[in-house]
Structure 1
Amino acid sequence: MADQSDKAALYWKANVRLIVISLAIWAFVSYGCGILFRPLLAGISVGGTDLGFWFAQQGSILTFIGLIFFYAWRMNTLDKELGAGEE
């Protein structure tokens, strides 16, 4: 019983850590690169517009989609490691 609760605690600790890291990356890309660092990125051209505008319009969305796939892959790996899979 204690082994099962230890695995559950470890599982949720890893899950919450992964969520916090993913949200921090997404916030940095969308808020940081799209708004705060936009003046610094204005000199770099991507597709006919500056890089800060690109991050605000496309980069944050693409980063979010990438994070969704990374989260799903990592959680499947964690499920297999800790025996919480959907077999």
Structure 2
Amino acid sequence: MTDWLATLREQAKVGEEMAEEVSRMLSNPDISLQQASRLYNALEQQAQFTEKLARVLEESGHDFTVVEAAEALEELFNELAASAAGKVKQLQQ
């Protein structure tokens, strides 16, 4: 049986590392619109995946701590996608 809490905690660590890298990428003055758009698309896909995962875990009756961990991961990717979307808008102007 999958230890979802351990898996989600591991993914949260990866997500935090990604957050640092995304921040560096978005603050780079040489980032192109195409690069920012690709980054946004990748982050948005991950946010959608983690949203679905959280719902499936909740509907499957997993413990609240597991669902909460999945929702925290979802929130992280939503925030990262929103940051990238903001950069895309900025570069389009």
Output the TM-score relative to the length of structure 1: 0.41
Bigger RCO (CA 8 Å, 6+ sep): 2
More strand by share: 1
More helix by share: 2
